Structure 1
Amino acid sequence: MAPRILLDATAVPADRGALGRYVDGLLRALHELGADLAVACRLADEERYGALAPRARIVQDAAAQVGADVIHLPASTIPLHAGRPTVVTIHDVTPFAEPETHDPVRTAYVRSATQAAVRGATRLIAPSRATRDELVRLLEADPAAIDVARHGVDHEVFHRPAEDEVKRVSERLGLDGRPYVAYLGALEPRKNVPNLIRGWVRACSHYPDAPALVLAGSGGWDDEVDAALATVPLELRVVRPGYLPSAELPGFFGGALAVVLPSKGEGFGLPVLEAMACGAPVLTTRRGPLPEVGGDAVAYTEPDPSSIAAALEELIEDPERRTVLADAAYARSQGFGWTASAEAHLAAFDRAVAQYAAPR
């Protein structure tokens, strides 16, 4: 008999960033696979989760008595003392590998929650082999208690855009058809935005009609971003639109000359996969799990400004290579779906229930 799963989404932030997209995609796929689900969430999210999983029981308290056989915490939060098996998704261990690239206040909580999950959860889920290996190396997690479940991508939302989708986004950004280099993500040191800005300036400053740089995304902190922006010559243009809704992302990614995501560290790299699904030529780094996502379908760079500049200029100068990369990226993205991810999660839940019931 399949276990009843309580998915605790109470810690999912309101901005529907990568964590929100993970929970949304996973929940819908679990529901479509017929999983017996209950979802704990904030009042503001009840309607959303009810639409994604109509047969699920929606509650506002993770400790509610829903007869769950296993509890899934998808946000790296501290496991409850619930008297039943718990499975925690650990998205990212860069707060341990590179603590200086994170907000020190939030990092203290994340590190504490991750350590508690390693000690107290029945099983852990990692979104990539690289993250699993870092859990073992840095936190001495038991490799036999970690399941790898790669993220998927919603191919209905993230798709090759039609011309009118590209045009609408270009007009919204005030570019009116002008070429641009795209970035999507938080302004955090590990995302390496200052070096992206410096590399873009070096690559583009000699072009008479240089592509703009669009830095999209909500929130984050990086004291060096403003300093890097202050060095941008007047003839170059930077656009900072802030948060872009999911409906605009295909036009944003697919309309870009290149999508550049030169991160110093990731747990998976969901924006890389989403840009690939939109048929964009992507430039990223070989750090952590990013090669697991991009394979041979993306271009790579070292994270320093000179390397970014050289790799970006190669893409700008070679439209044929951009087309080849875009086609390869789109084709590779089709192998990442939320159904396969949900199946891997269900296997982890089954293992957790069996492991919890076994004699100790």
Structure 2
Amino acid sequence: MPTIFYDLSEQFLSSGLKLKYYGIARTVMDVGHELARMPVDVRFVVYSPAHEAFFEVTPRLGADSPTGILDPGLPDAATPYRIRNSFPAAHGLRDALHPLVRRAVRAINLRRWRHIPEGLVRKVDMQGQVLVSLGRPKLMADYLTGLARHGVYPRLIPLLHDMIPLHEFALSSSPGFTSTFCHDNAVVLARAEMLLANSAFTRGEILKMCDAGYLPPPPPIRTVPLCHELRVTDEPVSKTGPTEPYILCVGIQRGRKNLECVVEALLALHDQGRPVPPLVLAGAPRKRTESYLNEARFAPIRDRVHHVINPNEAELRALYEGALALAMPSRMEGWGLPLAEALWLGTPGLAAEGNAALHEVGLDLAQYFDAEDPCALARLIDDLQSDPAARAALKARIRAARPRLRRWRDVAEDLLAAVTCATASAPHHQRAAE
């Protein structure tokens, strides 16, 4: 197997608290942590927009990292400002001004780069090197375009997390984002040696979007499912949930994530005269979530809603362990880490029926309900809180199934097997030159 250059740009370019525990960033750090502990030739790199080049870094691991898992080991003050390198369509004024803006941002980023102590990073020539990236397509598209300006073409093996923005509901509600998302993924597909998909569902979605003409013909696609494991960290726990059992939702909001279903289910319990468990919303604060919960009709249950803002890994573990159940009513997911993590810890998972990715995650362990029927969710919640013996039996069955759930080591091993397969043949020079 050739040397693997593992991309930590997702963390370097998004080092702020807002994205620190974002699902994609967590995937990057967890897989990177496993690769760092395996007897393989892996070098960790970040992309510098100021230099339009990659630099090798020495990541901090475990207790040495502020994430408790892994990070690039660079000061936050060096985090560069990002400016897009390419666009889905021509625009006269923007295209005329963009080179000037790019030069100004580059000057700022070069000054920020000086916060990195001398000798901490080493520039890497990525021409023909195997680059594995699990980050967002927009970051990959930026650095692929930047490298191409210098005639540098790595052998890219990216993992794609979902095609959700290309569906009709996103096309109608956010055409600008959908257009750029499509463009970025097209750039990635055009340069990739092989694609990795985080679930069988996502693999099918990629093929569907390629067949529909949204994306170019893909290279070979291999499924590398994500996992269930929530790693133990020694981070401090200061953010906690209620003392009584509660329904937990992680990273939920209105729309595709379907916060509406959970809130309506609790309101239905209230209207039926049944006990209403607390609802814990864990994740980044959202103004539209606050506005929604402040609607007059939710007044009877508003005091049952608790917010835990941006919990770290240890705090998230404690939230799972104290929950009556995790509710995940998403209409579509690429994988579904919250459901996976809840099951890993023996917490019942209530998941949307018809969501193919959630069935891959939940297996026969989750309980499924119609995401458009809050009363169906209310019945599951009421059953759990009304029958302690049945709840205990369910938790015991979930805990007994842990040996067949996936770990981050499984993801890393499957990724290495895919890289071995992808690099067994000659590089796709013709694809890279297109």
- The alignment's TM-score, normalised by the length of structure 1, stands at 0.82
1:116-195 → structure 2 map (5 Å cutoff) = 116-140=187-211, 145-157=220-232, 172-173=240-241, 175=242, 177-187=243-253, 189-195=255-261
Q: Deviations over 1:6-59 (max 9, x none)?
A: 12221343322211221111112112222212222389xx999332699x9989
Residues 41 and 58 in structure 1, CA contact (< 8 A), matched pair in contact too: no
What is the match of residue 197 of structure 1?
Answer: 263
Change (3 A) 1:205 1:211: farther
Change (3 A) 1:103 1:355: farther
What is the match of residue 283 of structure 1?
Answer: 350
Instruction: Give the gaps of 5 or more residues in structure 2.
Output: 49-55, 66-70, 75-112, 114-120
1:134 deviates by 1.1
1:16-95 → structure 2 map (5 Å cutoff) = 16-41=21-46, 49-51=59-61, 64-65=124-125, 69-77=129-137, 78-79=140-141, 80=144, 81=148, 82-95=152-165
1:147 deviates by 1.0
1:106-121 → structure 2 map (5 Å cutoff) = 106-121=177-192
Specify the code of the residue in structure 1 equivalent to 2:189: V
2:170 is aligned with 1:100: yes
Change (3 A) 1:197 1:47: farther
Match of 1:351 among 421, 425, 431: 421
Quote the RMSD (CA, aligned, Å): 3.4
Residues 99 and 107 in structure 1, CA contact (< 8 A), matched pair in contact too: no
Residues 216 and 242 in structure 1, CA contact (< 8 A), matched pair in contact too: yes
What is the match of residue 162 of structure 1?
Answer: none
Specify the code of the residue in structure 2 equivalent to 1:276: L
2:64 is aligned with 1:4: no
1:313 deviates by 2.5
What is the match of residue 214 of structure 1?
Answer: 280
2:311 is aligned with 1:244: yes
CA–CA distance in structure 2, aligned partners of residues 228 and 100 of structure 1: 23
Residues 218 and 242 in structure 1, CA contact (< 8 A), matched pair in contact too: yes
1:319 deviates by 2.6
2:338 is aligned with 1:338: no
Residues 76 and 117 in structure 1, CA contact (< 8 A), matched pair in contact too: no
Larger Rg: 2
Change (3 A) 1:220 1:318: same
1:180 deviates by 1.4
Residues 228 and 343 in structure 2, CA contact (< 8 A), matched pair in contact too: no
Specify the code of the residue in structure 2 equivalent to 1:126: A
Change (3 A) 1:38 1:302: same
Q: Kindly, what percent of the aligned residue pairs are identical?
A: 24
2:329 is aligned with 1:324: no
Aligned-partner SS, 1:22: helix
1:344 deviates by 1.2
What is the match of residue 110 of structure 2?
Answer: none
Match of 2:334 among 248, 267, 270: 267
Which structure carries more relative contact order (alpha carbon 8 Å, separation 6+)?
A: 1
Specify the code of the residue in structure 2 equivalent to 1:218: A
CA–CA distance in structure 1, aligned partners of residues 191 and 218 of structure 2: 15
Q: Deviations over 1:187-234 (max 9, x none)?
A: 25211112211112212444575311111111567x476335522233
Specify the code of the residue in structure 2 equivalent to 1:274: E
Instruction: Give the gaps of 5 or more residues in structure 1.
Output: 159-164
Change (3 A) 1:214 1:76: same
CA–CA distance in structure 1, aligned partners of residues 58 and 253 of structure 2: 27
1:264 deviates by 0.6
What is the match of residue 312 of structure 1?
Answer: 381
1:123 deviates by 0.8
Change (3 A) 1:37 1:138: same
2:362 is aligned with 1:294: yes
CA–CA distance in structure 2, aligned partners of residues 225 and 350 of structure 1: 48
CA–CA distance in structure 2, aligned partners of residues 331 and 108 of structure 1: 45
Specify the code of the residue in structure 2 equivalent to 1:277: W
Change (3 A) 1:298 1:57: closer
Match of 1:232 among 298, 314, 323: 298
In the alignment of these two chains, the number of paired residues is 343
CA–CA distance in structure 1, aligned partners of residues 277 and 47 of structure 2: 42
Change (3 A) 1:29 1:153: farther
Larger mean Cα displacement after TM superposition, 264-273 or 72-81? 72-81
CA–CA distance in structure 2, aligned partners of residues 239 and 259 of structure 1: 14
